[in-house]
Structure 1
Amino acid sequence: MLKHFFGLLLTLMLISPSAQANLSQTLKKIKPSVVGIGVHTPTGRPKNELRGTGFVVGNGQYVVTNAHVLPGELDKSLKQSMVVFSGSGKKPNTLKARVIARSEYYDLAVLKFDAPALPAMKLAGGEYQSEGSYVAFTGFPIGAVLGLYPVTHRGIIASITPSVVPVADAGQLSIKMLKRMRDPYLVYQLDATAYPGNSGSALYDIGSGEVIGIINKVFVQQTKEAVISNPSGITYAIPVKHLRDLLTEHKVAY
């Protein structure tokens, strides 16, 4: 089932030598900023649940992810807490965090932890990146199974398109989707495939490593389970301009 997932990694070999060298150097720079987002339950088995990916910004104590990665509500009776996982492997560092900003409309959330700062990623400007630009994203696809081992995918910006995702029939339309169709914002459509766990990954320029967007969804052709064995190859990312606005609104320097 995972052969499609691992097979995709071989496509890195198709990049031109210069671009591959740039990506290799960029990865060394940005990987310490890539973190996991999850929930810690002291009495749970397991105690830690990885829900998605995030990346460090600002002074090194702020983390960006998707709003949909966050749990609906923490169970106070179980003393659950939001956590950020840093490092890699089966036993990463676990840092307690709290949500300080979120936007359901743009599917963005900002967390803060009070532990020593981590290396932060630099945000690109607010202008849209050109279609055809080479980009990459690094996160924890299927991290709940594989553990905290960062995986990188690369591709191009295939289109700048309204945020509405096509559905097979009208019965699949939700009230939330109908409202968005009346006033959609533009997102990046990529030709690289994201997987469960990639939500919240930074989309960055291969050469500079600057964040130009945030991965937030994949167009699934059949069922959610089919995204692993039969991915559509269509991934969407929120332009970084909306993150910049959210950070500014909540007085987070970046």
Structure 2
Amino acid sequence: MAPPSRRECPFPSRRFPGLLLATVVLLRSSCSGKVCHYIPDPLHGEAILANGSYSFGNQLHFICNDGYYLIGKEILYCELKGSDAVWSGRPPICQKILCKPPPEINNGKHTLSDADVFEYLDAVTYTCDPAPGPDPFSLIGESTIYCRDNSVWSGDAPECKVVKCRFPVIENGKQITGFGKKFYYKATVIFECDEGFHIIGSDTIVCNSNSTWDPPVPKCVK
């Protein structure tokens, strides 16, 4: 490896903590006029000078617009190479955020199924197909997911399946809401006990995704 080139303007630097103030002033004054070349804003982004100038020792910060991510260094430094002021690296670029196609699901489909490219904040919505039997498919999970800024979907794909809970029976009590012959996913039932009895458990139950009541059917006891 070739030895590093001599810098004519080493200030600012942490290599000279013991320099006298007068020496530092002289070194700093010798660097005046050293300016790095202009770098334009990246396409779909912005370049921001730390103190509004391209002079030696300054920093240039890069950010991307929503929907894009930075490839390369976020900060460039105006440094000396020999007697010239140069940036510490190549300017970065802003690349569009893309997600892979969302998962397909059994017994269902999603919108934008013909698309090959999914950009930042693109959303797809899942629906279930008609069931072949007497009981419908229920959609378990979030129906809509969207492409996030880290190029992944906001959640897992939902599931379409038949969810059916058994008829809830409570002794010494009765249903006061949720009447029906069949109880599918998220069906809710509320109970109350007969006079002289008190409830053990929750008075409200919900048909869960595994076809069981959550919490379990309560009991009415004296």
TM-score when scaled to structure 1?
Answer: 0.19
Greater C-alpha Rg: 2
Higher RCO (Cα < 8 Å, 6 or more apart): 1
TM-score when scaled to structure 2?
Answer: 0.21
